[in-house]
């Protein structure tokens, strides 16, 4: 079988979320497919060492890359199955396709997405479920996809925990601190987190913990930063910006606790990483977060400021050590994906 792979998300600068997932899963997936005797062609914006073992074809087309290059080129090359590890399925494409839908937050919380992005994701998501095999991270997200778009061929392949990397340099993080890792964007519920943290310090001045936020800017970042500037304890809030894997790993290990207040997630590599490093966490009680975080964690069921204040206080004063991560690696993930692609 000739398998085509969309590798465009693997060569973006400052990878987060979906990009990090692609970086972790594609190298073992290419190796697994090659081991089974399949021809593998990766289509990307530029070449990368992570595509070792595959034929690599590139295009630096700036707009509509998936529609004007990926699908058409894959069909021209005689690809039998196209694997797209992100949300966007090309309009023109090979007959057989496997696509990852990481979440359907754009349907559950439409106001936290720009209008045209929401419309685009909705149309491509509906098209994917109707015409292709779909993979997602959690059973909760599988149920959401089927409820929104109708029954389809939706499989669950759970992610593995993040690989620990060696620090290329060290930073003197402002200990003690609570840590948020993710894009600085509206859907991460950061207005709620910032307000709750500020109230926590106002009501409990003896608490010494700072709040560190690691991640590059996303939709709503400017408004989030402006909101933080108006808070009484703004000097205790540190927006670090994007961090490399090594610095993020160091920050995770040295944190007193991890905070994930997201309104919606498809799964959570951050919670898996917290479990791998045995750092206590508090998270929204959305089902995919609970699947990723396990039973030993603090979850906030109702998205109210008072509830988050209590949860943050408990994270500091009554931390719960998370359960170890499942015995699962990215080779296991790649093996399950390859079985879906080649079935």
* 115 occurs within a structural domain: yes
| Dihedral sign (CA 80, 333, 181, 249) | negative
216 and 128 part of one domain: no
Q: Is the pLDDT of residue 147 over 70?
A: yes
278 and 189 part of one domain: yes
Say what the pLDDT of residue 105 is. 83
* 324 occurs within a structural domain: no
Structural domain of residue 196, as residue ranges? 177-317
130 and 24 part of one domain: yes
28 and 153 part of one domain: yes
- Starting at the edge strand found earlier in the chain, the sheet holding 81-84 runs 55-58, 39-44, 2-6, 81-84, 96-100, 133-136, 153-156
Residue range 207-236: average pLDDT? 96
| CATH code of the domain in which 281 resides | 3.40.50.2000
259 and 293 part of one domain: yes
* 322 occurs within a structural domain: no
Say what the pLDDT of residue 247 is. 85
151 and 216 part of one domain: no
Share of the chain above pLDDT 90, in %: 61
* 238 occurs within a structural domain: yes
CA–CA dist 220, 87 (Å, integer): 21
151 and 211 part of one domain: no
DSSP SS3 for 69: helix
CA–CA dist 248, 6 (Å, integer): 27
- Starting at the edge strand found earlier in the chain, the sheet holding 298-300 runs 237-241, 210-214, 177-181, 257-260, 281-284, 298-300
* 165 occurs within a structural domain: no
DSSP SS3 for 207: coil
Q: Token pair for residue 157?
A: 């392949």
Residue range 197-218: average pLDDT? 96
Tell me, letter by letter, the H, E, C secondary structure of 112-156: HCCHHHHHHHHHHHHHHHHHCEEEECCHHHHHHHHHHHCCCEEEE
199 and 156 part of one domain: no
Say what the pLDDT of residue 332 is. 96
DSSP SS3 for 235: helix
Q: Is the pLDDT of residue 32 over 80?
A: yes
Say what the pLDDT of residue 144 is. 87
Residue range 196-213: average pLDDT? 97
* 171 occurs within a structural domain: no
Spatial CA neighbour of 152 closest among 128, 171, 117, 179: 128
Domains identified in the chain, total number: 2
42 and 140 part of one domain: yes
DSSP SS3 for 283: strand
CA–CA dist 266, 269 (Å, integer): 10
* 166 occurs within a structural domain: no
pTM, entire model: 0.90
- How far are the Cα atoms of 36, 71, 78, 111, 127 from residue 43, in angstroms, in the given order? 20, 10, 13, 33, 21
41 and 145 part of one domain: yes
CB burial readout 10-31, b (16+ within 10 A) else e: bbeeebbbbbbbbbbbbbbbbb
CA–CA dist 256, 175 (Å, integer): 8
User: Who has greater pLDDT, 146 or 211?
Assistant: 211
For residue range 287-329, list pLDDT tens digits in order.
999 999 998 899 999 999 999 999 999 999 999 999 888 888 9
252 and 311 part of one domain: yes
Q: How far does Cα 165 stand from its chain's mean position? A: 18
152 and 198 part of one domain: no
* 77 occurs within a structural domain: yes
Q: Do the Cβ atoms of 4 and 74 come closer than 8 Å? A: yes
């Amino acid at each position: 079988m000739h398998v085509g792979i969309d590798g465009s998300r693997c060569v973006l600068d400052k990878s987060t979320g979906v990009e990090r997932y692609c970086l972790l899963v594609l190298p073992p997936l290419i190796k697994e497919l090659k081991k089974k005797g399949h021809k593998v062609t990766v289509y990307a914006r530029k070449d990368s060492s992570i595509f070792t073992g595959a034929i690599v074809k590139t295009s630096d087309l700036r707009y509509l890359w998936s529609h004007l290059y990926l699908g058409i080129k894959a069909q021209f090359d005689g690809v039998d199955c196209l694997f797209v590890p992100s949300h966007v399925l090309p309009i023109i494409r090979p007959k057989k396709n496997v696509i990852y839908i990481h979440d359907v937050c754009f349907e559950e919380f439409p106001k936290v997405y720009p209008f045209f992005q929401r419309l685009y994701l909705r149309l491509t998501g509906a098209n994917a479920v109707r015409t292709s095999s779909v993979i997602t991270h959690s059973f909760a997200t599988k149920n959401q996809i089927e409820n929104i778009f109708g029954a389809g061929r939706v499989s669950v392949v759970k992610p593995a925990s993040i690989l620990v990397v060696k620090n290329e340099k060290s930073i003197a993080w402002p200990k003690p601190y609570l840590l948020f890792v993710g894009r600085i964007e509206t859907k991460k519920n950061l207005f709620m987190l910032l307000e709750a943290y500020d109230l926590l310090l106002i009501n409990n001045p003896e608490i010494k913990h700072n709040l560190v936020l690691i991640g590059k800017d996303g939709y709503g970042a400017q408004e989030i930063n402006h909101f933080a500037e108006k808070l009484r304890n703004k000097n205790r809030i540190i927006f670090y910006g994007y961090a490399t894997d090594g610095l993020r790993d160091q920050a995770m290990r040295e944190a007193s606790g991890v905070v994930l207040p997201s309104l919606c997630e498809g799964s959570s590599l951050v919670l898996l990483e917290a479990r791998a490093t045995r750092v206590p966490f508090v998270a929204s009680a959305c089902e995919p977060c609970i699947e990723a975080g396990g039973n030993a964690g603090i979850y906030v069921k109702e998205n109210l400021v008072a509830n988050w204040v209590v949860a943050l206080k408990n994270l500091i004063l009554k931390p719960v050590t998370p359960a170890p991560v499942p015995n699962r690696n990215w080779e296991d993930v790649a093996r399950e994906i390859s079985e879906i692609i080649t079935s």
